[in-house]
Amino acid sequence: MATPMVRAEAVHKNFGRNEVLRGIDIEVAPREVMCIIGPSGSGKSTFLRCINHLEKIDAGRLWVDGELVGYQERGGRLHELPDREVCRKRSEIGMVFQSFNLFPHMTALENVIEAPVRVKRESAAVATERGRALLDRVGLGDRLDAHPRQLSGGQQQRVAIARALAMQPKLMLFDEPTSALDPELVGDVLNVMRDLAHEGMTMIVVTHEMGFAREVGDSLVFMDSGMIVEAGNPRDVIGNPQQERTKEFLSKVL
Amino acid sequence: MTELSADPPVPPGSTRVRPEAIRAVPLRHPWRWVSAVVVLIVLGAVVDTFATSSLHWSVVGQYLFDARILQAAVVTLYLTAIAMVVGVGLGILLAVMRLSPNRVMAWVSWLYIWFFRGTPVLVQLFFWWNINTILPYLSIGIPFTHVMVQASTNTLITPLLAAILGLGLNEAAYMAEIVRAGIISVDQGQTEAAHALGMRRSLVMRRIVLPQAMRVIVPPTGNETISMLKTTSLAYIVTLHELFTVQQDISNFNYKIIELVIVASIWYLAMSSVLTVFQYYIERHFARGSVRGLPPTPMQRLRRMLFQFHAAPPFGSAAEPDGEPWLPPAMPHSGM
């Protein structure tokens, strides 16, 4: 069997005395789209942020593409990775945030080519060419020179997706990408994500969009208070939940 | 974007017939008139007092473009520039140190700011000017060897260097706090997004955080520069030939004290006015991306005022007034 793209084993995380993750075990295969649902405060976003080491985990193990996240195992002990290595690994993982977090002092195109040029040391010409193509692909080929504030939320989020894709990541993390959008703008963003999934991108999507999870997701995880309550095929979990907590949650959101 | 038709269908219960414009009797404000008259009388009295004094305006005119005064004004300007460069550069360094996860860095920065903000700048200038009394020689050497460069402090600390040290090091403490406030003002999500792209701390600071912090940093820095322009007058204590020292040197000879103070004041005012204009355009430059449209320049404002005077949008029209820099966001064109 191929190495899983992401593997988590008993991942724990606490902020002070507050336990946010209490033993997460998952496996995401290459080309798989996994959706994570659950009430706010259930630890979904925190788990996503652990995967690219924006948060350090306190116990358990977490691998991306067969390599430990944030650490290196030598002589039976874990050693923290130097900053350079952490950054290199992050550069291979794309992340899309709920609040877009585009760089407001740069145009759409500048946002997209910043990391390829500064981090991967690509030539500006090559990065620009790919940046244009990516923005075109997310339907913003005509807004290259717009600043984020001149774009609608849906357009900003599509620029943010293009920005993440510009690094040619092997894994994409989406942290509630449509939660901050007006309902009529959600569709455009989901379409871009759907296309990406069809092209075989490995994706982990924290979302409240049950339609997307059912239609595009290969697997679905329901989290509550830092634990996985139920996981499986999205149609089964949504259509026929086994756990009481899952039923209760779904009855409120569907 | 779909075209807005000139006549959208009128929903039931609303009317498109425009009622008569309101023509009400305007409210009178008699106290505004009274207070304006009182203030003008006081102002007139002040002007009259000075006009009838024995002040010799001809002396002011005579010295306004005196070569010594002009040269001194240049000294004042470049002392301001150098002191601000030192202050801003060191201030950025101190601010980054203050926010560093390294406790020693943060503490040293705190100590510096505490010391240099807590003592008067005049005292600091005096200190640097007289440092030779406690350190007659300054030497740089390689420890545990006899390789050493030595210089007499007396020749090293010129009036200019003493002024730069005194003003620049003091300014750095204030700039550090301004820069720190700017850095903190940048949304945490920006740093996070940059880290997620694989950018390292120093790169994130340089490319993402500082450019955005500039919007918060620039306005107070402009004020600091204008303030520095005037504070340079304290350099008279280190005998630097800047504007204030030179006008005093001249009036020591001819006893036209107030006339020469006025000459200096005119130059200080002129220079700070020019700096204010610079400040406006620099602030405008760094507002890019933070507002939908940039604030208009005074010229643009004038042009628009003239234009809008006879181009008021017709009632019920959805069009933006002409000349508005604001661009409505285009609607996403790919439907669901």
Q: Write phi, then psi, for B226 (nearest 5 degrees).
A: -65, -40
Closest-CA distance, B304 to chain A, in angstroms, reads: 22
- How far apart CA A72 and CA A91 sit, in angstroms, is 18
A124 interface with B at CB cutoff 8 Å: no
HEC sequence for chain A: CCCCCEEEEEEEEEECCEEEEEEEEEEECCCCEEEEECCCCCCHHHHHHHHCCCCCCCEEEEEECCEECCEEEECCEEEECCHHHHHHHHCCEEEECCCCCCCCCCCHHHHHHHHHHHCCCCCHHHHHHHHHHHHHHCCCCCCCCCCHHHCCHHHHHHHHHHHHHCCCCCEEEEECCCCCCCHHHHHHHHHHHHHHHHCCCCEEEECCCHHHHHHHCCEEEEEECCEEEEEECHHHHHHCCCCHHHHHHHHHHC
Q: Write phi, then psi, for A93 (nearest 5 degrees).
A: -120, 125
What is the pTM for the complete model shown?
A: 0.77
Choose from A56, A105, A119, A174 for mutation: most chain B CBs within 10 A.
Answer: A105
Q: Do A52 and B212 touch (CB under 8 A)?
A: no
Q: Supply the angle between the helices B257-286 and B57-64 in degrees, to the nearest 10.
A: 50
Q: Do A97 and B335 touch (CB under 8 A)?
A: no
A152 interface with B at CB cutoff 8 Å: yes
CA distances A161 to A96, A137, A174, B39, B198, Å, are 6, 11, 9, 61, 15
Q: Which residue of chain B is at minimal alpha-carbon distance from A86?
A: B198
Considering only the beta carbons, identify the residue of B201, B333, B334 that sits closest to A83.
B201
Q: Which residue of chain B is at minimal alpha-carbon distance from A138?
A: B334
CA distances A18 to A11, A126, A225, Å, are 15, 46, 11
pLDDT of B291: 58
List chain A residues with CB under 8 Å of B212: 103-105
CA contacts within 13 A on the Cβ side of A191: 16
Average pLDDT, chain A: 94
Considering only the beta carbons, identify the residue of B197, B288, B336 that sits closest to A119.
B197
pLDDT digits (tens, 9 = 90+) for B125-169: 999 999 988 888 888 878 777 777 888 888 888 999 999 999 999
Closest-CA distance, B316 to chain A, in angstroms, reads: 25
Choose from B102, B197, B199 for mutation: most chain A CBs within 10 A.
Answer: B197
List chain B residues with CB under 8 Å of A99: 189
Contact A169, A94 (CB under 8 A): yes
| A114 has a pLDDT exceeding 60 | yes
pLDDT of B227: 95
Q: What is the ipTM of this complex?
A: 0.94
Closest-CA distance, B289 to chain A, in angstroms, reads: 5
Amino acid, res. A239: G
Q: Do A188 and B195 touch (CB under 8 A)?
A: no
Please give the biggest Cα pair distance in chain A: 55
Eight-state DSSP code of residue B233: G
A121 interface with B at CB cutoff 8 Å: no
Contacts of A227 (CB under 8 A, 6+ apart): A22, A23, A24
Q: Which residues of chain B have pLDDT under 70?
A: 1-15, 288-296, 307-336
Strands B137-141 and B148-152 turn out to be antiparallel
Contact A8, A26 (CB under 8 A): yes
Nearest to A240 by CA among B24, B73, A60, A232: A232
Q: Do A185 and B332 touch (CB under 8 A)?
A: yes
Contact B83, B232 (CB under 8 A): yes
Q: Do A95 and B208 touch (CB under 8 A)?
A: no
Q: Do B329 and A152 touch (CB under 8 A)?
A: yes
Contacts of B262 (CB under 8 A, 6+ apart): B55, B60
Contact A108, A71 (CB under 8 A): no
- How far apart CA A55 and CA B49 sit, in angstroms, is 71
Q: Which residue of chain A is at minimal alpha-carbon distance from B203?
A: A118
A178 interface with B at CB cutoff 8 Å: no
Q: Which residue of chain A is at minimal alpha-carbon distance from B335?
A: A188
A153 interface with B at CB cutoff 8 Å: no
List chain B residues with CB under 8 Å of A101: 187, 189-190, 192-193
A191 interface with B at CB cutoff 8 Å: yes
Contact B209, B124 (CB under 8 A): no
pLDDT of B82: 97
Considering only the beta carbons, identify the residue of A101, A152, A188 that sits closest to B193.
A101
List chain B residues with CB under 8 Å of A87: 195, 198-200
pLDDT digits (tens, 9 = 90+) for A67-94: 999 999 888 899 999 999 999 999 999 9
C-alpha of B102 from chain center: 31
CA distances A253 to A21, A37, A219, A223, A248, Å, are 23, 10, 18, 14, 9
- How far apart CA B30 and CA B33 sit, in angstroms, is 5
List chain A residues with CB under 8 Å of B198: 87-92, 115, 119, 167
| A122 has a pLDDT exceeding 60 | yes
B208: tokens are 């993402």
The size of the A-B interface in CB pairs under 8 A is 98
Q: What torsion do the CA atoms of B38, B43, B49, B54 make, to the nearest 10 degrees? A: -170
User: Percent of chain A beyond pLDDT 90?
Assistant: 93
DSSP per-residue string spanning B236-280? GGGT--SHHHHHHHHHHHH--HHHHHHHHHHHHHHHHHHHHHHHH
